[in-house]
């Protein structure tokens, strides 16, 4: 381009782009395509899943790059997947093709109501991927069996947030890598029970490295005793917004964790009994909402709470009625 003997910035840009095209035409690959598969997969994780799959049309090298993504966040309200059948088929095909050694997190948000068997199949596929984080959130009834999840020894964080659902636990659970367990009800209490074949109605949950345990509006249905064995547990939060003590069976919940440092219990006085060795608790807040306890004096109520929760050496207890 003639510009009176001077080379303009636009000329330099055109020459640079032309040079890049010439290099590509000569077979030179771009730097991103030269990266290892797992690094490209990690980069694609920051895209929405649909866009990550679209990269398969870039070149022969990129056809299966999307299968190396490390985090999945799926929502059935996605504008492209509004049909329930389309959504389930899409998720199943995607899980079957993903590279199992690279998946770290799986987040599934369900707005619609699904057949429990179908959700169970999805859970089985995810649990077989040696995954580290599983988060299932459903605004509608979504009763499931957690047996496949509790076979996944690579699992480090489990979050079940369900609405008006029944969650089935095996009578014995041992997850050696789990550090956080969140059981949260949405809109209405979430019921947790064991398999019907369990005659003793006792659950034993062993989590050797668990640090955080949160239970919000969860009912232990038809369970006599729940033992949570977590020697490294540091934080315990138990909250209930509804008074459902009159329509559930009594359950004794024992938390075997001697080194809990942060404890929050906010609930109605229900038929459930929580036993916690709180000798090392540094911060504790216990809030009871029950008209039947209002006529007790503050000292009597504090003795009641200390006995109920096995709190003998706790200092600075915050007690609200």
Rounded Cα gap, residues 69 and 108, in angstroms: 16
**Residue 169 three-state SS:** strand
In the predicted model, is pLDDT for residue 234 greater than 80?
Answer: yes
The SS3 of residue 140 is coil
The pLDDT, as a whole number, for residue 222 is 83
State pLDDT tens for residues 65-92: 777 778 888 888 765 666 777 888 878 8
Element (H, E) at 219: strand 218-220
Question: 188 and 164 in contact (C-beta within 8 Å)?
Answer: yes
Tokens of 311: 């709190």
Interval 201-225: pLDDT, tens: 889 999 999 999 999 988 888 888 8
* Model pLDDT, residue 200: 67
Q: What is the mean pLDDT of the chain?
A: 75
Over pLDDT 70: what percentage of the chain? 68
- Beta-carbon contacts of residue 32 (< 8 Å; ≥ 6 apart): 40, 43
pLDDT, residue 141, reads 81
Query: What is residue 42's predicted lDDT score, i.e. its pLDDT?
Result: 73
Residue closest to 211 by CA, chosen among 259, 155, 171, 281: 259
Please give the residue that has the higher pLDDT: either 185 or 305: 185
φ, ψ (nearest 5 deg) of residue 53: -65, -35
At 193 the pLDDT is 87
Instruction: Give the model's confidence band at 61: pLDDT under 50 very low, under 70 low, under 90 confident, else very high.
Output: confident
pTM comes to 0.75
Give the residue extent of every domain in the chain.
34-155, 168-321
Does the structure show a pLDDT above 70 at 305?
A: no
* Mean pLDDT value across residues 116-135: 85
The DSSP secondary structure of 11-43, one letter per residue, reads HHHHHHHHHHHHHHHTTPPPTGGGS-HHHHHHH
3-state helix, strand, coil split of the chain in percent (to 5) is 30, 30, 45
In tens, the pLDDT along 261-296 reads 888 888 766 556 676 766 667 676 777 665 444 445
* Gap between the Cα atoms of 255 and 115, Å rounded: 34
With beta carbons less than 8 A apart as the criterion, state whether 171 and 194 touch. Answer: yes
Q: How confident is the model at residue 2, as a pLDDT?
A: 47
- How far is it, in rounded angstroms, from Cα 74 to Cα 309? 40
């Amino acid at each position: 381009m003639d510009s009176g003997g001077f080379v303009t910035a636009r000329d330099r840009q055109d020459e640079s782009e032309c040079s890049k095209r010439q290099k590509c035409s000569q077979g030179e690959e771009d730097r991103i395509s030269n990266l290892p598969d797992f690094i490209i997969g990690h980069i694609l994780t920051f895209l929405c899943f649909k866009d990550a799959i679209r990269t398969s049309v870039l070149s022969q090298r990129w056809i299966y790059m999307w299968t190396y993504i490390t985090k999945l966040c799926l929502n059935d309200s996605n504008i492209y997947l509004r049909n329930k059948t389309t959504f389930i088929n899409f998720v199943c095909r995607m899980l079957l093709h993903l590279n199992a050694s690279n998946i770290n997190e799986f987040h599934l948000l369900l707005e619609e109501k699904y057949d429990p068997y179908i959700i169970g199949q999805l859970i089985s596929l995810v649990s077989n991927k040696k995954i580290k984080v599983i988060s299932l959130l459903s605004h509608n009834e979504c009763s499931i069996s957690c047996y496949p999840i509790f076979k996944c020894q690579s699992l480090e964080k489990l979050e079940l947030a369900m609405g008006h659902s029944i969650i089935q636990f095996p009578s014995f659970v041992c997850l050696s890598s789990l550090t956080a367990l969140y059981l949260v009800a949405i809109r209405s209490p979430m019921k947790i029970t064991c398999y019907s074949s369990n005659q003793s109605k006792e659950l034993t949950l062993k989590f050797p490295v668990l640090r955080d345990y949160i239970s919000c509006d969860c009912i232990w249905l038809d369970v006599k005793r729940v033992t949570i064995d977590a020697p490294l547990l540091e934080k315990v939060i138990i909250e209930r917004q509804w008074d459902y003590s009159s329509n559930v069976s009594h359950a004794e919940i024992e938390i075997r964790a001697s080194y809990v440092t942060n404890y929050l219990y906010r609930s109605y006085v229900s038929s459930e009994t929580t036993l916690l060795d709180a000798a090392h608790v540094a911060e504790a807040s216990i809030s009871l909402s029950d008209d039947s306890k209002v006529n007790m004096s503050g000292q009597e109520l504090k003795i009641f709470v200390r006995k109920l929760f096995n709190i003998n050496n706790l200092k600075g207890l915050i007690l609200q009625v």
